[in-house]
Every structure is written in structure tokens, then in C-alpha cells.
Structure 1
Amino acid sequence: MSRFVLMKVLIGPLLKLFFRPRVEGLERVPESGPVILAGNHLTFIDSIILPLISKRQVFFIGKNEYVKGTSLKGRLMALFFTSVGMIPVDRDGGHGGVAALMTGRRVLEEGKVFGIYPEGTRSPDGRLYRGRTGIARLTLMTGAPVVPFAMIGTDRVQPGGRGLPRVGRGRQITVRFGAPLDFSRYEGMDRDRYVLRAVTDEVMTEVMRLSGQEYVDMYATKVKAA
């Protein structure tokens, strides 16, 4: 039994007990071959819920700090995240974006599922922000379809992404998947910035439709910095 399957067996029932996640459209995720899951990012537990509800293991980029803790809590976090599919990458360095992109490409070329938050960071206020074009480069370089998804309610369960999640009435989580998006019509155009923006905006439009969030045509990182 793989560590991923073991983690789902051990933690999956607790997830359902405490958060009662409602999953819609999971059958839209292809059962084999490379797939990009692209969605909104409201809070820390998004990256816990997505791998545990998926039938296939979802690989995604995470901060190095999540696996470097030496305390008991740190070691448990490292065990969990590496088991469910997190690949630690130093994203704060000058080449962090390139490393993340190449990691995603490698995962997809191996025929696996790669999860990505095109906003690049958690939403500062619950709205959906402009997507970065790394998602477009990945789908055009690999030919992998993009399945948009929306996390709904995770920010009410864990406001601000800090502290222990809250449970109780009125805090149900919904994860909604859309139909796969095929961008093969843009094959060979992964260096055209207008094409990259058009592909990214199409993905974000689907995420907005699924989530019902208000869209802001600005990068979330700039809003946080301000």
C-alpha cells in the first residue's frame, strides 16, 4: 500500500466527519493520462482537501518550509504533505518560478495529475484574482488538458489561513470540478504572450463560473504588498 493510499484511508474518514465536503463533478477528471487541476486558493486547507478527495494522486508545489520542521508537529506535516503529493520547491529564490514550472512539466510528462493555483497565492479577501500564465505554459508545453475546480467555503472553515479549522453548522465545504479544457489549437505557441494570457484568462473565467467569486483583474500578490 502506497503512502498516499494509506493517508487517504487514515485521514479521509476524519475529513468527511469534520468538514462534510460535498464534491461535484469529480467524474470530469480523466482517469488516466496527464491532467492539470487549476483552481482558486482561499486558505491553507485547500491543499489538504484537494488531494484527499481526488481518486488519483495530485502532485503540487509546496514551500520548502512545510517539510523542514524538526519538531514533532513539523515532522508530521512533512510526512503528510510528501505522502499526498507535495513537491517542495524553494519558490522565494530568483529561479523559483522556473523550478516550479519545470517540476510541473516533469510530473505531467510522466502521465500524472498536477494541481496548481493560477493566482499564485491565497486570495487576501475571498475574491478571485488575475491568473499567472504558468498554467498556460504548462498545458501548451505538455498537451495536458486543464480541469478547472473551485473551492467553496474553505475560507469560512479556516479564515485567514491560520489557526485550527473551525467545524460546525454553516461551514460546509464544496469542491466543484468543471469540464476539461483543451488548448491543443494553440500547440507550439507557448512563447506567445498574447496566447498565454488568453489561455490563462479562459481558465480563470471557468474557475470564476464554478466558484461564484467576484473577479479582480489584478495580481493578488500586488494587492497583498499594498
Structure 2
Amino acid sequence: MGSVDRAPVPRAYRVAAGIARVPVRAMTRPRWSGLENLPDGPFLAVANHVSTIDPLTALHFFVAQGQFPVALAKSPLFEARGLGWLLRACGYVPVYRDSDDAAASIEAAAERLRSGTSVLMFPEGTLTRDPDLWPMAARTGAARLALETGVPVVPIAQWGAHELMPPPTYTLHPWRRPRITVHAGAPVDLSRFRGQEIDGDVLRAATAVIMADLTDLLATIRPGTPPTEPMQWRPEPGQGYRR
């Protein structure tokens, strides 16, 4: 994809983001780095997923830099009164899991990128089940978006949100005021896949490269050593995930 200017940010998004940042600022102590790696034009941000509140802590990071990426969110959120209207007004994309509409979510996100809007994804598709909270094996949607649109893929490693809202609960612990570290890495090099037919093998290989870069980046901001191989999980329709 050639050079594309950033799309205008919906007013509803600016207002909602400004309001949401107030409690996040009060509950956390942010530490941000890698800001020089955020492109001027549209990009695909891929982040690790350790807490239900990750989208808000990531939003805090981006909005503070004048960036307003839209996120892919579970379709039931769009059915909630008030919240559903707000998500649509902000340009967010519903994700229909385990249905014929799943591909439509990727196409809608691709259209956002082509029109100049950045997109935020959590490639694992759910909270990591790794006991030490390292990224697990991811779905291939991020790789497909990257290869079909040609936009830069920026890995976003974040750590600390699990102390604010421990997984898999929705219980906040605001008094802890945890340090939320967010680091934007250099764009993932997917040049080896450009020009190839986008089939399953290519998507899986590109996904492995994206997640390897994201895991390596995460290892620079948190303690511990990542596993040699990511935990493998497969979705069971209606039953969540199991090993």
C-alpha cells in the first residue's frame, strides 16, 4: 500500500478517549518508550494480552501520543446499550468468533487501514493462558491484515495491567496504582512474505515472525525468560480455549 494520510478522528472517539484517560491516569503509573517507532501514517499495532483492561491501558498510551487507533472488539460488546453505539461511533470493529462473519471483521479492519486509520489488535484473540503470562500461539488475522494492506506492523509490549485487573476477572485494584510499562518496537520485517500467495502456510509463518518479535520485545520490559515455544491453544466453539 502506498503512502496514505491519517484519517480524521471521529469526535466521539476524542471525547470518549479524553474521559477514559482520567481514571486510567489516576489508577496507574505509566512508563512509555519506543515512541519513535510509531509511524506518521496508518499502521497495525499488535499487542500482548494479559488483562481485560489492556485495551484501556493501550489506549492511554496511544492517545497521549496523538494516535487514535481503532480496536477489534468482541461482538457482544456492540450489543450492549450505549456501549455498542459508542464503539461504532469511534469506528471500532466487531469480531464475530466461530461464525461465517469472522472474515468480515478482518475485511472491515483492512478497510480502516486503507482509509488511513490505524488498527490495534491482540493477535492471540483472548487473554493468554500461559501461566507466566507470556504470549501464546496467535491467530493469523494480524498477518493477513499486514500482508493484504502492506501497512507497518508495530509490536506493542505492555506489562503491569494484570496487577490492576488480574486475569481472568473484571475486578479492579485501583489502590495498587501499578506501574504500566508500554514499549513500541520497530516495525516487524515481513519483507520475505511480500509478493507471495497469501495461503495458510504463509499466514502461519508470518504470524510466527510477528509473535516472536512481540515476545522478544516483551522480554525487555518484564522479568523472566520466555518459553522456547509459545503455548499452543485451540478454540473450542462455545467452550473457550483448552490445551
Please give the TM-score of this superposition, normalised by the length of structure 1. 0.85
- Counterpart in the other structure of 2:232: 218
Q: Does 1:108 align with 2:119?
A: no
Residues 1:205 and 1:58: Cα distance change in structure 2 (over 3 Å): same
Stretches of structure 2 that go unaligned for 5 or more consecutive residues are 1-9, 220-224
TM-fit CA distance, 1:84 = 5.0
TM-fit CA distance, 1:62 = 1.1
How many residue pairs get aligned? The number is 219
TM-fit CA distance, 1:21 = 2.1
- Counterpart in the other structure of 2:94: 88
Q: Does 1:64 align with 2:70?
A: no
- Per the alignment, in what secondary structure is the counterpart of residue 112 of structure 1? coil
Residues 1:200 and 1:89: Cα distance change in structure 2 (over 3 Å): closer
Q: Does 1:148 align with 2:155?
A: yes
- Counterpart in the other structure of 1:36: 44
Question: Does the CA contact (< 8 Å) of 1:58 and 1:85 recur in 2?
Answer: no
Q: Distance in 2 between matches of 1:168 and 1:200?
A: 37
TM-fit CA distance, 1:159 = 1.1
Question: Does the CA contact (< 8 Å) of 2:29 and 2:177 recur in 1?
Answer: no
Which of residues 18, 22, 25 is equivalent to 1:13? 22
TM-fit CA distance, 1:47 = 1.4
Deviations along 1:20-69, whole A, 9 cap, x unmatched? 2222113311122x200011111211112222321221112112211322
Q: Distance in 2 between matches of 1:148 and 1:99?
A: 24
Which moves more between the two structures, 191-200 or 56-65? 191-200
Stretches of structure 1 that go unaligned for 5 or more consecutive residues are none
Q: Distance in 2 between matches of 1:150 and 1:99?
A: 27
The RMSD of aligned alpha carbons is: 2.4
Question: Does the CA contact (< 8 Å) of 2:33 and 2:184 recur in 1?
Answer: yes
Percent of aligned pairs sharing the same letter: 27
Q: Distance in 2 between matches of 1:138 and 1:63?
A: 18
Please give the TM-score of this superposition, normalised by the length of structure 2. 0.79
